[in-house]
Structure 1
Amino acid sequence: MQVIRTIAWIVLTAVLVAFIAMNWTKVPVNFWPLADGNYFHFEWPVGVVALLFFGFGMLPVWAYLRAVRWRLNRRIASLENSLRATSMASLATPAEAAPVASDTIPTETPSEIEKS
């Protein structure tokens, strides 16, 4: 499985490098309108702009998934602690001896059983 994951990462990296290499022309990116009617902008290569905004789009999803993982890890730890506390409490109290029926206890000693 590790080989497949490595190959997938290599292919993804090659595709991204090829995309950036083919789209290296610079384009103006307008960020904010200014008071004089112009825009505050940068001129960046298309590939860099695409990767940057892809990362910005992925950021909220990543943050949400990290929060879910954190919450689930806290819940698991809480359940483990309560289970540990319950098992320690049951070990601390002596187990009650089960009553033994008097008809199952042999009244004869082993030597008497051998004689008969």
Structure 2
Amino acid sequence: MQFLKILFWFLLAFVAALFTYGNWTSIQINLWGGLIADVNLPLLLLVTFLLGFLPTYLYLGAVRWRLRQRLTNSERMLADMRAMPPSAASSLAIPPAGDADRIDAAVAAEGRLL
């Protein structure tokens, strides 16, 4: 699998080099105040790609950091809850089997559960 990753990146670099070699022309960009900038086409495309990619990459990095912090906090809370001994008040008492018939009869008589 590592070989395929390396092969992919080499092919991508080769295609980028061919594109750069084939399109090495200067482009005039009209700026404010009558200024004209001569820029090579591959450099212009790289700058526009980075202008779109970097803000998205930084935003997703912040989202991943925030989610990682929330996960760490949740794991810490879960470990704290598992470490706490169960309290006597929180345990549920199971009624004896004979009481179930009496409860069913009371529910049937009233016609409602609560």
TM bracket, shorter-chain basis: 0.5 to 0.7
Alpha carbons of structure 1 residues 5 and 90: separation in structure 2 relative to 1, 3 Å: farther
1:90 match: secondary structure? coil
Cα distance in structure 2, aligned partners of 1:49 and 1:88: 58
Percent identity between the aligned chains?
30
CA RMSD of superposed structures (Å): 1.9
Kindly indicate which of the two structures has a greater share of residues assigned to strand: 1
Kindly indicate which of the two structures has a greater share of residues assigned to helix: 2
Letter in 1 for 2:2: Q
Letter in 2 for 1:71: R
Cα distance in structure 2, aligned partners of 1:69 and 1:2: 25
Greater radius of gyration (CA): 1
Flag structure 1 segments of 5+ consecutive residues without an equivalent: 94-116
Normalised to the residue count of structure 2, the TM-score between the two structures is: 0.67
Cα distance in structure 2, aligned partners of 1:55 and 1:15: 18
Letter in 1 for 2:32: P
Aligned length: 87
Q: RCO (CA 8 Å, sep 6+): is it higher in 1 or 2?
A: 1
Cα distance in structure 2, aligned partners of 1:48 and 1:33: 20
Q: Which residue does the alignment assign to 1:25?
A: 25
Normalised to the residue count of structure 1, the TM-score between the two structures is: 0.66
Q: Which runs of 4+ in 1 moved over 4 A?
A: none
Flag structure 2 segments of 5+ consecutive residues without an equivalent: 88-114
